Structure 1
Amino acid sequence: MQNANLNNLATSFAKKSLPGSEIELSGEIPAETIAPYRETALKHLSEHIEMPGFRPGKVPPHMIVNKIGEVAVLEEAVELFMRDFYVTLLETHKIDAVGRPDIRIMKLAPGNPVSIVVNTTVYPEVTLPKNWKSLGNEAALEPASLATDEEVEQTIESLRKSRAQKGKENEEPVLPELTDEFAKTIGKFETVEELKAQIKKGIGEEKERAAKDKRRGKIIEVLIEKMQIEVPKIFVDSELEKIIAQLKEDIARFNIPYDDYLKRVGKTEELLKEEFREQARKRALLQLALNKIAEEEKVEADKDMVESEIKHALEHFPDAKPDLLRIHVETVLRNEKVLQMLEGGEVKK
């Protein structure tokens, strides 16, 4: 069918906005428009229909019609036509679609127009809070407490226990004495005091990181609360799949089959998804906000860092798909830059 005719047909479809960033397109397709696709539909069906005495793809058309009916053949023809026509529909109605469409045949009869309804999700209109640049002021950085002598001693005690020698039966393990020689077995330390100083420094740095993470969490929470947008279901579902995939990965580390885990917790995967749905919604909402900020402020991931991270990832995951990996790395690095902006700190290059 010529492009001009497809464009005219697309123009005849009615466009309707629905809640949740969905668009509905509805209209009728003339029978003569579908007719040229019937032969291709029969060939396609012939490859998937099993009939005694015929190889796949060699079943005669009339036998296919006798077996499944003319309406089933028309359904296949409509599906093939819509693969071509869907793009024209989007272009004609200026729709920036996300994900796969839901195409429903509402009315179908040989020789009559086909009634079609297409539902598709569009990227939502994202409006940032007016004061988003000052969100960092709403979450002050709590000063991290210093490492205490007690915490250092507890760490030392754990190190001694990890290197304890087994005692005789019913006897307590024998802990090594806290000497300079012991310190040397832990790392590049010459004395116990050097070991303690390093432990104290490490605990302090960990507390600082925890304080910064806590502040970042508060900023994210405030940003999400101030965002006035209904997150499309397809975005939430995508985050849900990521959460479940991560859960499966975590469970696998303990050599526990996923089905066994579900039995232990007494839940189905669908129930788990419902429990995680709000978390998924917030994650999707945050990503929409970060994308919008990056767009407005022209924030991009550092190209050299992207290449370095991709190279590193492929060394550990050689089967990863390069295109998807690049998108993931660019998103993570760009998100980090935006979050640094929200925190009011210097953006690391």
Structure 2
Amino acid sequence: MACVRKKKILRRINPLWKTKSGFLLEKLRNFRNMVFFRNMTSDIKKLSGSEVEVSIEVSAEEFEKYYKQSFEEASKNFSMPGFRPGKVPPEILKENISSEAVLKKTAEHTIQKTYFPVLREKKIEAIGRPEIFITKIAKGNSFCFKVKTAVLPEITLPDYKKIVLDTREKEEFTVKEDASEEEKGKMQQKKRMKILEAISDATEIDIPDIMIKAEKEKMLGELKASIENMGMKWEDYLAQIEKAEEELKKEWQKDAERRIRYGLILRELANKENIQASEEEVDADVEKILKQLSAAGSNASDIDTDYLKSYTYGMLRNEKVFQFLEIC
């Protein structure tokens, strides 16, 4: 007991305690990473359009470990007349559980366990939905797969402060004193979009196709939700405008690219100027949104709070970036 108390006191009075403790934890993490990555090899190949191809080979020993885990999971869910759950003999399990199904589950499990650690280790900021290709899979062998994914494009911002000043000189953003709040809001939005458009025109960004596809799907989802909120069926709407979903997506090409460009520029401006939304601000806004959704009859359990927090953070951060651009 005295020893524990002494350690607690040391933590308070000795600033080196935390340093030493942190150093040991870092060494432990490094050791675990070394052991983890020793069981696999990875290679990164840069492709055009801000895309990369990640090739990963997991050792036969490591893949066998994941196979056993997948087989155990399948065994727990397996039932057979005459046996209690979880009490079916191993030889019967092997005869009745599909090895192909276990192999498929093992592949999914292995990809989940290895792909993201490799991204972190290689410091790759992957975005969008990756395309996964299994190139080698067999029990008792190493497991190989490739992942094609988009990465955040590198952005070199222009002299945005000068662009803001030039835009102010060229454009007329004055509002009458007796203007309504709605008119003031519209003028502010016009001003912000003009500034962002000017910065975008002076910025080169190589947008990956995966990002454009994902943005079009997002736009499609937004339109569907809007139509359904109006009480109209999506199929009826398409019939009314005499267009298919693919036609709409083709028409949205420029809009999708513009939305992506603006989003990436705002993100880079926030990083450049160290503009962030605090956790307290995010939580307060999320709470308001949840209350509004609850009042509208939405079930709290149906709401993805992690996504809501991420979305709210982005909105608050972007608002702060616009406020910065208005005064810089």
Please give the TM-score of this superposition, normalised by the length of structure 2: 0.71
Counterpart in the other structure of 1:104: 133
1:77 to 90, 98, 106: 106
Q: How has the CA–CA distance of structure 1 residues 50 and 289 changed in structure 2, closer, same or farther, with 3 Å as cutoff?
A: farther
Q: Deviations over 1:292-328 (max 9, x none)?
A: 1111112223666545433332221133444433332
Aligned to 2:324: 341
Q: Deviations over 1:268-288 (max 9, x none)?
A: 333323322321221121111
State the alpha-carbon separation in 1 of the partners of residues 283 and 138 from structure 2: 55
Does 2:74 correspond to 1:40?
Answer: no
Cα distance change, pair 40–142 in 1 and its aligned pair in 2 (3 A): same
When residues 300 and 112 of structure 1 are mapped into structure 2, their CA distance, relative to the original with a 3 A threshold, is: closer
Unaligned runs of 5+ in 2: 1-31, 295-299
Alignment of 1:223-302 (within 5 A): 223-301=199-277
Q: Distance in 2 between matches of 1:338 and 1:326?
A: 18
Partner of 2:314: 331
Q: Counterparts in 2 of 1:30-179, with a 5 A limit?
A: 30-45=59-74, 70-99=99-128, 101-129=130-158, 131-136=159-164, 137-139=166-168, 140-142=170-172
Q: Deviations over 1:212-247 (max 9, x none)?
A: 433322222222222211223444344334422332
Question: Which has more radius of gyration?
Answer: 1
Aligned-residue Cα RMSD (Å) equals: 3.5
Q: What per-residue deviation string (whole Å, max 9, x for no partner) do you get for residues 52-90 of structure 1?
A: 888987877666766786455333323322322224322
SS at match of 2:325: helix
Aligned partner of 1:201 in structure 2 is 178
Q: Distance in 2 between matches of 1:34 and 1:325?
A: 36
- Given that 2:150 and 2:211 are in contact with CA atoms closer than 8 Å, whether structure 1 keeps it comes out as no
Q: What one-letter code is carried by the residue in structure 2 that aligns with 1:35?
A: E
Q: Report deviation, 1:290.
A: 0.8
**1:151-193 deviation per Cα after TM superposition (whole angstroms, max 9, x unaligned):** xxxxxxxxxxxxxxxxxxxxxxxxxxxxxxxxxxxxxxxxxxx
Q: Return the letter of the residue paired with 1:340.
A: Q
Q: How many residues align?
A: 288
| TM-score (ref. length: structure 1) | 0.68
TM-fit CA distance, 1:8: 2.1
Amino acid aligned to 1:40: Q
Alpha-carbon separation, structure 1, partners of 2:42 and 2:74: 29
Q: Residue 317 of structure 1: SS of its match in structure 2?
A: helix
Report the structure, 1 or 2, having the larger helix content. Answer: 2
Structure 1 residue 13 and structure 2 residue 39: aligned?
no
Instruction: Verify the 8 A CA contact 2:39 2:59 in the aligned structure 1.
Output: no
Aligned-partner Cα distance in 1 for 2:84–2:132: 32
Q: What secondary structure sits across from 1:300 in the alignment? A: coil
- Between 289-298 and 246-255, report the one with greater CA deviation: 246-255
| Runs (5+) with no aligned partner, structure 1 | 147-199
Give distance in 1, aligned partners of 2:139 and 2:111.
Answer: 17
* Aligned-partner SS, 2:178: helix
